[in-house]
Amino acid sequence: MKALQKISGETFADTFGPYNSAENIQNYIQQSYNDQQLTKEMADPHSQFYFINVDGRPAGYLKVNVGDAQTEEMGPNGLEIQRIYVLPEFKHQGLGSQLLNKGISIAEQLNKSFVWLGVWENNLSALKFYQKFGFKQHSDHVFTLGGSRQRDLIMKKTIK
C-alpha cells in the first residue's frame, strides 16, 4: 500500500503541481490516495493494478478498469487505462510504454474492442505519447481540482 501511495502522490504532484496550488494538490492526494480509497479500489473485481520495478524498487504502476469500474460510461466493450504513473526519477526509460502495452494486451486478452483513457489537455508530452500509440481524441470532460476546473481529453484506441 505504501508503494502505491508514494507513486500516486509523487507522480500526481510532479504532473499537476506546477500548474495548481499546493493546497489543491495536497487535498487531492489525501482524498484520492489514502488507505481507505486505495483499499476500495484494489478490492474492486473490475479493476487491476500492475507494478513495474527497476532494480527491485517500485518505479510505477498501471491501473485498468472494465465494466462499471470505468470512470466514464463506455460500455462493456471498453477497457479504461485509468493510471499510468511513473515516478519522476524513472521517466524516459520506456516504463510508460511498457505499462501502456500491458494495458492494451489485457484489453486484447479480455476481447475488448477498444482501450480508452483521460489525459489533461495541457499535458502535451502525455498527449504526444498516447497519439504515438494510436490513441485519438474521442470526447472530453471536466476534471475539478479544488476550485479549478480543468479539461481532460478522452482518448480512444480501437484494438479490434
Of 28, 61, 85, 130, catalytic: 130
CA distance 75 to 45: 17
Please confirm, yes or no, whether 28 is among the known catalytic residues.
Answer: no
Answer whether 103's CB lies under 8 Å from 115's CB: yes
Dump strand ranges (E) for 87-135.
114-120
Beta strands in the chain (DSSP E): 47-54, 57-65, 78-86, 114-120, 136-145, 148-158
CA torsion through residues 156, 45, 8, 98, sign: negative
List the catalytic residues.
Answer: 130
